[in-house]
Amino acid sequence: MNHPDRHRWRDAAVHAAAVAAEFIRQESRARDTITWQSKSPTDFVSHVDIGAEERIREILHAHIPGIRVVGEELGSDGDPESGLVAIVDPLDGTTNFLHGFPNYAVSICVALDGVPQAGVVHDIMRGGGEHRETVCTATAGDGAFANGARMRVSTITDPSRALIGTGFPFKDVTSADDYVRMMRRLMPLVSGLRRAGSAALDLSDVAHGRFDGFWELWLNAWDHAAGVLLVREAGGRVTDLEGRDARLIGGPIVASNGVLHEWFLDILRGGAS
């Protein structure tokens, strides 16, 4: 299950993410001159997302011969749940990046036959202490780390103390009413709801114990793959709305510190409050 090469794969992913993060940081200095290309009427991308993915692919292919890449911007070389594959979001939080809102990341997961083996979420703008950035990593069975320090999910058991992240829609808003209903149910029960704009960072915030839960009704594999491994290795749980373990495919994602998970699923599904 846990492949002996997973630490080597993590090191390659960390290197690729660092190179992409540095490129993104450099480009952010000329943010006002970046051309926004439209993916849909309210969804934009720029040369920065594409340039970051090009750099990541080059490094991964050089360090992990034969690896396939499923990337958001440059396409999928096949099934993310089969063989050795890197699932890559070169810039998660593009809207934040384009606006200079400092919450965006590079996310890379290396998986073997559908099982995440190594993951990195490189938080480009939020550091702490002597760090200007935060590099969150995990390998299967070995725990999760932020700039080398062990990460653990929160120990909060009382929902009234919970801070919950979400990602209500901005492209396809067909699920907007579902989010409104879910938020109305949660609002009187928890300390707060947040929509910070990067699912990879939302999940790493669950792993850090900053968020006690997070949900989004649709995420692509590249948004959540690395973050899911971080949460699990930090002691939390990640499922779909039915409580089935999250997979490396698109779908709903519910993450929590584990203790709150059944309560959280129940509220999201409209059960007792």
Query: What is the C-alpha to C-alpha distance for residues 95 and 201, in angstroms, rounded to an integer?
Result: 14
Among ligand IPD, Ca ion, none, what does residue 93 contact (CB within 5–8 Å per kind)? Answer: ligand IPD
Helix, strand and coil content of the chain, in percent to the nearest 5, comes to 35, 30, 35
Please give the Cα distance from 155 to 109 (Å, whole number). Answer: 26
Among Ca ion, ligand IPD, none, partner that 123 touches (CB below 5 to 8 angstroms by kind): none
Shortest Å distance, C-beta 103 to ligand IPD = 9
Encoded tokens for 230: 């971080």
Q: In sequence order, which residues have a C-beta less than 8 Å from that of residue 62 and are 6 or more positions away? A: none
Nearer to Ca ion, 89 or 258 (CB): 89
Least separation in angstroms between CB 200 and ligand IPD = 6
Select 53 or 212, whichever has its Cβ closest to ligand IPD.
53
Q: Residue 134: CB partners within 8 Å, gap ≥ 6? A: 122, 123, 126, 127, 128, 146, 147, 204
User: What are the angstrom distances between the C-alpha of 235 and each of 142, 143, 228, 254, 259?
Assistant: 11, 8, 11, 14, 10
Please state, in angstroms and rounded to a whole number, the distance separating the CA atoms of residues 271 and 269: 6
Residue with Cβ nearer ligand IPD (27 or 216): 216
Tell me which residue of 156, 56, 33 sits closest to 106, measured CA to CA: 56
Please state the closest distance from residue 129 (CB atom) to ligand IPD, in A.
26
User: With CB cut-offs between 5 and 8 Å by kind, which of ligand IPD, Ca ion, none does residue 219 bind?
Assistant: ligand IPD
Between 6 and 227, CB nearer to ligand IPD: 227
- Could you tell me the smallest distance in angstroms from the CB atom of residue 250 to ligand IPD? 10
* Distance of closest approach, residue 155 Cβ to ligand IPD, in angstroms: 26
Please choose which of ligand IPD, Ca ion, none residue 198 contacts, taking the beta carbon within 5 to 8 angstroms, the exact cut-off set by kind: ligand IPD
Read off the tokens for 168.
Answer: 């209500």
Question: Interface residues with ligand IPD (CB under 6 A)?
Answer: 89, 92-95, 167, 197-199, 216, 219, 223
* Residue 92 engages Ca ion in binding (rule: CB under 5 A): yes
Amino acid at 168: F
Q: Is 4 helix (H, G, I), strand (E, B) or coil?
A: coil
Q: Is 212 in the site for Ca ion (CB under 5 A)?
A: no
Q: Which x/- pattern, by CB under 5 A, does the window 44-83 give for Ca ion?
A: ----------------------------x-----------
Q: How far is the CB of 263 from ligand IPD (least distance, A)?
A: 23
Which tokens is 221 given? 């594999």
Report the DSSP pairing between strands 105-112 and 115-123: antiparallel
Question: Which residues of this protein are in contact with Ca ion, per CB under 5 A?
Answer: 72, 89, 91-92, 223
